[in-house]
């Protein structure tokens, strides 16, 4: 088989995913964050950043500004929308390999019903449109998992595809408080050879 044919063949495996652009893969479900937003967690989030803003630390100041309680820093959105990766009794990493991936993760593509199976995954970019601040006491989650784009590409780490996913960030009553787009790269890692070079 020629090099051109091999190149075309692996990209063809991604055609069902490319054709699915615009589809929502969530089946209408909302994935909730592991815990509600609470004041102690906000404090711990702010502490290493030394992020000093009264709206996040002083309930009275937040109420004077029109909020029911202290507000979650916008940059904490991902922290409070991710479900738990690990639960008691589970094993999250079952390999000590240098590039080992978790057995289960809320941010990989292991649940993709179409396209090639991949074992490597990382985020590439993120874009968020905030509609209002989230306050302590609220629980938020991601509703929808719309595939916005899919571009197969070989990189230095392997062969895969750059994809962009879009979701609404909602509260338990269903109010949309933000919209998020996350770029990812899902790929099959290149195998390392004995001489330190990457092999096919």
pLDDT at 187 over 60: yes
Domain residue spans of the chain? 3-37+82-199
Residue 187 φ then ψ, to 5°: -155, 165
Nearest to 131 by CA among 175, 80, 66, 81: 175
Question: pLDDT averaged over the chain?
Answer: 88
Residue 2, pLDDT > 70, answer no
Q: Is pLDDT above 50 for 196? A: no
Lowest mean pLDDT: which of 9-18, 62-71, 115-124, 176-185?
115-124
Q: What is the mean pLDDT of residues 14-32?
A: 93
Give 4-8's long-range contacts (Cβ < 8 A, gap of 24+). 7/154
85 vs 57 pLDDT, higher one: 57
Q: What is the CATH number of domain 3-37+82-199?
A: 3.10.129
């Amino acid at each position: 088989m020629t090099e051109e044919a091999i190149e075309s063949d692996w990209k063809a495996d991604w055609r069902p995913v490319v054709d699915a652009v615009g589809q929502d893969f969530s089946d209408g479900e909302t994935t909730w964050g592991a815990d509600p937003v609470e004041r102690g967690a906000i404090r711990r989030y702010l502490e290493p950043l030394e992020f000093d803003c009264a709206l996040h630390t002083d309930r009275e100041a937040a109420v004077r500004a029109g909020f029911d309680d202290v507000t979650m820093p916008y940059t904490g959105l991902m922290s409070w929308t991710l479900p738990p990766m690990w639960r008691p009794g589970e094993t999250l990493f079952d390999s000590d390999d240098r590039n080992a991936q978790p057995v289960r993760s809320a941010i990989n593509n292991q649940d993709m019903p179409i396209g090639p199976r991949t074992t490597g995954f990382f985020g590439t970019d993120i874009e968020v449109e905030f509609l209002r601040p989230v306050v302590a006491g609220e629980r938020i989650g991601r509703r929808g998992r719309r595939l916005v784009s899919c571009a197969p590409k070989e990189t230095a780490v392997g062969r895969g595809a750059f994809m962009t996913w879009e979701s609404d960030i909602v509260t338990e009553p269903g109010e949309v408080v933000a919209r998020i787009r996350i770029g990812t790269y899902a790929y099959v890692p290149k195998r390392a050879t004995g001489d330190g070079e990457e092999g096919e």
